[in-house]
Amino acid sequence: MKTMYIGLLGCGNIGSGVAKLLGEMAGTIRESYQIEPVIKSILVRDLTKQRPEYVDPSLLTVDKDKVLRDPEIKYVVECLGGEHPSADWMCEALRAGKHVVTANKMALALHWRELHEASEAGHATLYYEAAVGGAMPIIKILHDSLQANRIDRLTAIINGTTNYLLTRMTDEGLDYQDVLKDAQALGLAEPDPTADVEGEDAMYKLSILASLAFHRHLPVSAIEREGMTHVAQEDIRNAHELGYRIKLLAHATHTEEGMDAYVSPMLVPENHPLSSVKGAFNAVFLHGHACGDMMIYGRGAGSAPTAGAMMSDLINVILETANDHASQVQARENDGCVPMISDRTSAFYIRLSAQDATGVLAHVAASLSSHQIGVKALLQPVERALEGAQITILTHPASEKNVRAAIDAFDKRLVKVMNVLRVEAGEL
């Protein structure tokens, strides 16, 4: 029997979830692999804080070196979250030859190269299955299972909070602020929801996914980001009338022209598999030249799904390294630089509030057509006519630059632009 010592950085929801699962699984690991996994130290901020009974208080320490500098500890599970000091401590552990398991998408996305360099320098593995999609094994799928594919497109719902909010806005006809308050009361949204609703969380996750899928680093700075707070009930109703649902999507493509990536609320056709992803669930829909279309679906957050994914990483890395097999860095580094494309093609949803006067629609149509934008559908509900003309336009796919220019060219005395959203392509 071989004893393998583990150190935890942090013991909040996720850290204590890992300690619990490890306790539950230790017997199986012992029996199956003749390995005894033992938590040796747990770094916490506050020694006096009440912890669950499965966290052994004698393991707690406020000294990070008890984890990072203990030569017996070969595996470090980072559960602190945030950028600093997590990124620095993970680099330190990796350089010292300790294998690191983390769920920290922010530190990973912002310090991708440093972490991978530290991993190579220390010949230690960095595992991060739980960083994107919680329980959904998307990292392993991209890294291992789809190796033989050239993935050219990836569209994902990777923020459970916003998917929960948009699902309830859609299914119950509620406004954003009301659903948000409810979700906060239920603990399903953070007291400060900015990172989720402004698309930051999804942006970090997209940087990680696209870097793996395309074998090229997609830095966070190259991702265009738009949150979902401006999606109104009106947009959700219009989308439904047109046969779509609104979702906060993380989208990335890699073609011969270059890479493109953005996070934004989008209209998704009701018959698209991503449309059926409801509540706090996550899904990644991708296309590879050999596998074709594929969707992976699962629970993207929560203590047990996240701790479960971290625990699987831990078991994998222990098994890989217990017998001194050479370990592998869990991300291929990216060779060369791929340019970001300068314009993209997308269909658009444009909601306008206009004067109900002769020539207004002709003016809008003229501006669109002079920018080579075709109209696919148009709504102007008569029951809302008292509020002036409420016009909703769905365009055919067009140059995004042209769409923005056409909208800029609308006469502001006649037309007020209420919302503009991208439309996910329907053809699969």
Residue numbers of the site for ligand HSE (CB under 6 A)?
159-161, 196, 201, 300-301
Closest distance of CB 254 from ligand HSE, Å: 24
- List 155's β-bridge partners, or say none: 251, 285
Nearer of residues 252 and 354 to ligand HSE, judged by Cβ: 252
412 as an active site residue: the answer is no
Can you tell me whether residue 11 is helix, strand or coil?
coil
Q: How far apart are the first and last CA of the chain?
A: 52
Nearer of residues 75 and 128 to ligand HSE, judged by Cβ: 128
Rounded-to-integer distance, Cα 273 and Cα 289, Å: 19
Nearer of residues 78 and 196 to ligand HSE, judged by Cβ: 196
Closest distance of CB 126 from ligand HSE, Å: 18
**Of 354, 399, 159, 169, nearest in space to 263 by CA:** 159
Nearer of residues 201 and 260 to ligand HSE, judged by Cβ: 201
Closest distance of CB 196 from ligand HSE, Å: 5
Nearer of residues 244 and 281 to ligand HSE, judged by Cβ: 281
What value does the CA radius of gyration of the chain take, rounded to a whole number of Å?
24
**Of 268, 263, 259, nearest in space to 235 by CA:** 268
Rounded-to-integer distance, Cα 82 and Cα 196, Å: 14
Given 20, 98, 105, 205, the catalytic residue? 205
Closest distance of CB 142 from ligand HSE, Å: 17
For residues 93-110, one letter each, b for 16 or more C-beta atoms within 10 angstroms of the residue's C-beta and e for the rest, the string is bbbbebbbbbbbbbbbbb
One-character DSSP codes across 341-373: PS--EEEEEEEEEE---TTHHHHHHHHHHHTT-
Which residues are CB-neighbours of 39 under 8 A, at least 6 positions away?
5, 6, 7, 8, 19, 22, 56, 59
Closest distance of CB 197 from ligand HSE, Å: 10
Report, as residue numbers or ranges, the catalytic residues: 205
